[in-house]
Amino acid sequence: MATYPWAAGYVDDGDRPKIVTARFEHEDSYTITRYHATEGYAGLKAALTRTPGEVHDEVRGATVLGRGGAGFPAGTKWGLMPPEKYPRYLVVNGDESEPGTYKDRLLMERDPHQLIEGCLIAAYAAGLSQVFLYIRGEMPLAHERVATALNEAYAAGYVGKNILGTDFSVDIILHWGAGAYVVGEETALIESLEGKRGEPRLKPPYFPAAIGLYGQPTIVNNVETLSNLPWLLRNGVAAYTAIGTETSPGTRMVAVSGHVARPGVFEIVNGTTTFRDLLFGDEFCQGIRDGNSLKAFVPGGGSAPWFTPEQLDVPFEGRVAGAAGSMLGSGAVMVMDDTTDIPTAALTLTRFYAHESCGQCTPCREGGTWLMRVLERVVEGQGTRADLDQLLEIGESICPGKFPHAANSALGLEATPFPYKMTTICFVGPSAYAPVHSALTHFRDEFEARVADTPARRQIPVTAVH
Ligand SMILES: Cc1cc2nc3c(=O)[nH]c(=O)nc-3n(C[C@H](O)[C@H](O)[C@H](O)COP(=O)(O)O)c2cc1C
Ligand code: SF4
């Protein structure tokens, strides 16, 4: 067993295949010396011996799923750009702010050259002439390490004009975000790069692949997605798809927090590893802390509907998790044991999303705040039974049809596969409601015990926070 204090939370245990964290065992994993000593830039060199189309086919053939949240295959996304429209850009999403998620930070701190090499491979394959690396503002070490690695890569001829003596040229521009959660949404990130307020754009009709940064075709990919490419180019599609399952090949990084004996970031085999393996396996989290029992867990970042012990055997396979009523999202699992006060846990998450609303859409701006305020008074013991129905009613205005409320017999709340129906431009609105809905679905008794049995709705003014 090895834990690396310099990798802050990363745990390497067991004999599993490692694709993106293989270098983490070295204390100097972020230096170009270590990178060269461990096959660094061999993937780029292999790519440059092939045509861009061949490299693109390889990424498509390996079904490299996006690791930023939606799980869309990278090769397919690159193919959505209109042909013959140039320049076209790659934007690297290193904004990582989803509650519970802290894997991309480790990749940037511990292996920045791997990310840079991944960017170069993507740029070569998809004909991208400039890369914008957007790193969250609160990650100074990641910024420092990526900046140093970038200077080293320029000096060594991996980035810039005529890379390694070929006619392939690309520049990588580092941009430091200012710390807004919503800027992780790809179109808000593009707005932010353009120097505007970081607010999501309405889509459809135009996705970034068609009209993105500066109105040009743009690919937005997550840090972990791109970090997979050097290994893929070195080892080939067959080796990549030999790990995991047909629809979820390779590995993925998962950040586990909360009430487990050993929280941390783990690189797990995609598709086959189950939540039970992760939470109770010896090589992973080693069970619930202090001998307590599992009450619930959030399977894919704070936006995801919660699972209970009944879903422990769901594997890390997007479609299965979707059919079970949630999502794998950004690879963050938050665990709650039987000592957890559920209404308070729901409030903590809802408060975050209400605070992070950019304010463009009324259901998110007002609805998120209302959810938070009503939940606050329930948690404080000032709520009524009618407040519980009101929470569902507010949720209905954000996610219509998904969450039948009081009209439904016995509040028959149903788990519905993703995506949500929503009245908002982006997913922040539904994210404010997901914890409330999950908590009320599974643990309504804890709310009932908190509220006065008042049949009529009280009219308590709700104060806006914006
Ligand atoms: C509110 C919101 C926040 C998001 N935050 C991030 C983020 O921090 N990092 C990320 O990679 N994707 C984030 N996403 C998903 C991105 O919009 C986009 O799908 C992703 O960067 C695409 O990369 P991938 O295809 O490689 O996963 C967020 C989405 C939403 C709606
Ligand atoms: S859903 Fe919320 S965060 Fe997203 S665009 Fe609308 S107001 Fe902004």
Q: CATH number for the domain including 283?
A: 3.10.20.600
Ligand nearest to the CA of 430: 2
Amino acid 421: pLDDT: 83
What total number of domains does the chain contain?
A: 3
Residue type, 165: G
465 band by pLDDT with thresholds 50, 70 and 90: very low
413 band by pLDDT with thresholds 50, 70 and 90: very low
User: Ligand 1 within 6 A of 184 CB?
Assistant: yes
Among protein residues, the one with the nearest Cα to ligand 1's atom 30 is: 185
Q: State which of 215, 241, 267 marks the end of a domain.
A: 241
Please give the Cα distance from 251 to 273 (Å, whole number): 10
Among the residue ranges 262-266, 268-272, 356-360, 409-413, the one predicted with the least confidence is 409-413
Ligand nearest to the CA of 65: 1
CATH value at residue 67:
3.40.50.11540
DSSP assigned state of 235: H
In this structure, the answer to whether residues 154 and 293 fall within a common structural domain is: no
Please give the Cα distance from 183 to 106 (Å, whole number): 20
Closest ligand 1 atom, residue 101 Cα = 8
State how far the alpha carbon of 140 is from the alpha carbons of 37, 67, 252, in Å. 26, 22, 24
User: Ligand 1 within 6 A of 117 CB?
Assistant: no
CATH value at residue 427:
1.20.1440.230
CA of 260 to the centre of ligand 2 (A): 33
In this structure, the answer to whether residues 142 and 214 fall within a common structural domain is: yes
409 band by pLDDT with thresholds 50, 70 and 90: very low
Helix 52-62 to helix 229-241 angle (10° resolution) is 50
In this structure, the answer to whether residues 393 and 374 fall within a common structural domain is: yes
Q: Considering the domain boundaries, does residue 428 fall inside one? A: yes
The predicted-structure confidence for 170-187, as pLDDT tens digits, reads as follows: 999 999 998 899 999 999
How many CA atoms are closer than 13 Å to the CA of 3, on its beta-carbon side? 12
Amino acid 10: pLDDT: 74
Q: Considering the domain boundaries, does residue 407 fall inside one? A: yes
Higher-pLDDT residue of 422, 334: 334
In this structure, the answer to whether residues 75 and 180 fall within a common structural domain is: yes
Amino acid 179: pLDDT: 84
User: Ligand 1 within 6 A of 130 CB?
Assistant: no
In this structure, the answer to whether residues 194 and 321 fall within a common structural domain is: no
CA of 200 to the centre of ligand 2 (A): 7
State the virtual CA torsion across 416, 224, 298, 403 in degrees, nearest 10. Answer: -20
355 pLDDT above the threshold of 50: yes
203 band by pLDDT with thresholds 50, 70 and 90: confident
Ligand nearest to the CA of 354: 2
In this structure, the answer to whether residues 357 and 428 fall within a common structural domain is: yes
Domain range for residue 109?
14-241
Q: Considering the domain boundaries, does residue 54 fall inside one? A: yes
Among protein residues, the one with the nearest Cα to ligand 1's atom 8 is: 96
In this structure, the answer to whether residues 54 and 117 fall within a common structural domain is: yes
Q: Considering the domain boundaries, does residue 8 fall inside one? A: no
User: Ligand 1 within 6 A of 99 CB?
Assistant: no
Q: What's the average model confidence in pLDDT over 441-455?
A: 85
Closest ligand 2 atom, residue 368 Cα = 2
CA of 67 to the centre of ligand 1 (A): 8
The predicted-structure confidence for 76-96, as pLDDT tens digits, reads as follows: 999 999 998 999 999 999 999
Please give the Cα distance from 262 to 376 (Å, whole number): 31
Q: Is the peptide bond before 204 cis (omega within 30 degrees of 0)?
A: yes
Q: State which of 190, 214, 241 marks the end of a domain.
A: 241
Please give the Cα distance from 214 to 78 (Å, whole number): 18
Amino acid 408: pLDDT: 34
Among protein residues, the one with the nearest Cα to ligand 2's atom 6 is: 361
Amino acid 463: pLDDT: 52
Q: State which of 307, 322, 337 marks the end of a domain.
A: 337
Q: Considering the domain boundaries, does residue 454 fall inside one? A: no
CA of 224 to the centre of ligand 2 (A): 25
User: Ligand 1 within 6 A of 331 CB?
Assistant: no
CA of 183 to the centre of ligand 1 (A): 9
In this structure, the answer to whether residues 52 and 77 fall within a common structural domain is: yes
Please give the Cα distance from 452 to 136 (Å, whole number): 43
Closest ligand 1 atom, residue 226 Cα = 26
Tell me the β-bridge partners of 27: none
462 pLDDT above the threshold of 70: no
411 pLDDT above the threshold of 80: no
Mean pLDDT estimate for the chain: 91
In this structure, the answer to whether residues 392 and 407 fall within a common structural domain is: yes
CA nearest neighbour of 114 among 43, 180, 55: 43
CA of 74 to the centre of ligand 2 (A): 25
6 pLDDT above the threshold of 60: no
Please give the Cα distance from 369 to 382 (Å, whole number): 17
- Exposed/middle/buried for 1, CB within 10 Å: 0-12, 13-18, 19+? exposed
CA of 342 to the centre of ligand 2 (A): 26
Q: Considering the domain boundaries, does residue 376 fall inside one? A: yes
The predicted-structure confidence for 205-236, as pLDDT tens digits, reads as follows: 789 999 999 999 999 999 999 999 999 999 99
Among protein residues, the one with the nearest Cα to ligand 2's atom 8 is: 358
User: Ligand 1 within 6 A of 274 CB?
Assistant: no
Amino acid 124: pLDDT: 98
Amino acid 3: pLDDT: 53
CA of 95 to the centre of ligand 1 (A): 8
Amino acid 297: pLDDT: 98
Helix 140-155 to helix 112-126 angle (10° resolution) is 60
Closest ligand 2 atom, residue 429 Cα = 1
2 pLDDT above the threshold of 90: no
400 band by pLDDT with thresholds 50, 70 and 90: confident
Q: Considering the domain boundaries, does residue 211 fall inside one? A: yes
In this structure, the answer to whether residues 204 and 75 fall within a common structural domain is: yes
Within a 10 A sphere around the Cβ of 172, how many other Cβ atoms?
Answer: 22
420 band by pLDDT with thresholds 50, 70 and 90: confident
In this structure, the answer to whether residues 69 and 205 fall within a common structural domain is: yes
Kindly tell me the sign of the dihedral angle through the C-alpha atoms of 234, 238, 243, 249.
Answer: positive
Please give the Cα distance from 89 to 51 (Å, whole number): 19
Q: Considering the domain boundaries, does residue 110 fall inside one? A: yes
Amino acid 299: pLDDT: 96
In this structure, the answer to whether residues 306 and 292 fall within a common structural domain is: yes
Residue from 98, 196, 361 to probe ligand 2 pocket by mutation (most atoms less than 8 Å from CB): 361
CA of 426 to the centre of ligand 2 (A): 5
457 pLDDT above the threshold of 70: no
Residue from 91, 93, 328 to probe ligand 1 pocket by mutation (most atoms less than 8 Å from CB): 93
- Percent of the chain at pLDDT above 70? 91
The predicted-structure confidence for 21-77, as pLDDT tens digits, reads as follows: 999 999 999 999 999 999 999 999 999 999 999 999 999 999 999 999 989 999 999
Q: What's the average model confidence in pLDDT over 383-391?
A: 93
Kindly tell me the sign of the dihedral angle through the C-alpha atoms of 371, 374, 375, 376.
Answer: positive
Amino acid 227: pLDDT: 98
Amino acid 419: pLDDT: 61
